[in-house]
Amino acid sequence: MHLLRLTRPLNLIIIALTMYGLGWYFDPMEGCSCTFIVTDWPFFWLVFSTVLIAAGGNIINDYFDVRADRVNKPERLIITRHIKKRSAIFMHWTINIIAFSIAIYLSWIMDSFWYLFIHLFSINVLWFYSLYLKRRFLIGNIFIAALTALVPVLVGIFFFQHNQTNPEWYNVQLFPFNMEGSTPKMILYISTGLAVFAFLLNLAREVIKDMEDVEGDKKLHAKTLPITWGIAKSKWFTVLVLLIAMGTAGALFYLIESFTFTNIAPGIAAGAIILLTIVLALSAKTKKDFRRVNHCIKLAMTVGLLTPVYWKIIMTYV
Look at residue 126 and tell me whether its pLDDT is greater than 90.
Answer: yes
H/E/C letters for each residue in the chain? CHHHHHCCHHHHHHHHHHHHHHHHHHCCCCCCCCCCCCCCHHHHHHHHHHHHHHHHHHHHHHHHCHHHHHHHCHHHCCECCCECHHHHHHHHHHHHHHHHHHHHHHHHHHCCCHHHHHHHHHHHHHHHHHHCHHHCCCHHHHHHHHHHHHHHHHHHHHHHHHHHCCHHHHHCCCCCECCCCCHHHHHHHHHHHHHHHHHHHHHHHHHHHHHHCHHHHHHCCCCCHHHHHCHHHHHHHHHHHHHHHHHHHHHHHCCECCCCHHHHHHHHHHHHHHHHHHHHHHHCCCHHHHHHHHHHHHHHHHHHHCHHHHHHHHHHHC
Residue of 53, 65, 149 lying closest to 97 (CA atoms): 53
- Cβ contact 249:270 at 8 Å: yes
Q: Which of 49-53, 63-67, 114-118, 244-248 has the lowest mean pLDDT?
A: 63-67
Q: Give the confidence band of 174 by pLDDT, cuts at 50, 70, 90.
A: confident
Q: How many domains, the chain?
A: 1
Look at residue 168 and tell me whether its pLDDT is greater than 80.
Answer: no
Q: What is the pLDDT of residue 29?
A: 52
Q: What is the mean pLDDT of residues 245-255?
A: 84
Mean of the per-residue pLDDT values of the chain: 88
Q: What is the mean pLDDT of residues 172-200?
A: 81
Secondary element (H or E) of residue 161: helix 139-164
Q: What is the mean pLDDT of residues 189-210?
A: 95
Q: Give the confidence band of 246 by pLDDT, cuts at 50, 70, 90.
A: very high
Which range has highest mean pLDDT (4-13, 170-179, 255-264, 285-294)?
A: 285-294
Residue 255 CB burial class (10 angstroms; 0-12, 13-18, ≥19): middle
For 17-31, the pLDDT digits (tens) are: 999 999 999 886 555
Residue of 80, 77, 96 lying closest to 88 (CA atoms): 80
Domain that holds residue 107: 2-317
Look at residue 1 and tell me whether its pLDDT is greater than 70.
Answer: no
Does the pTM surpass 0.75? The reply is yes
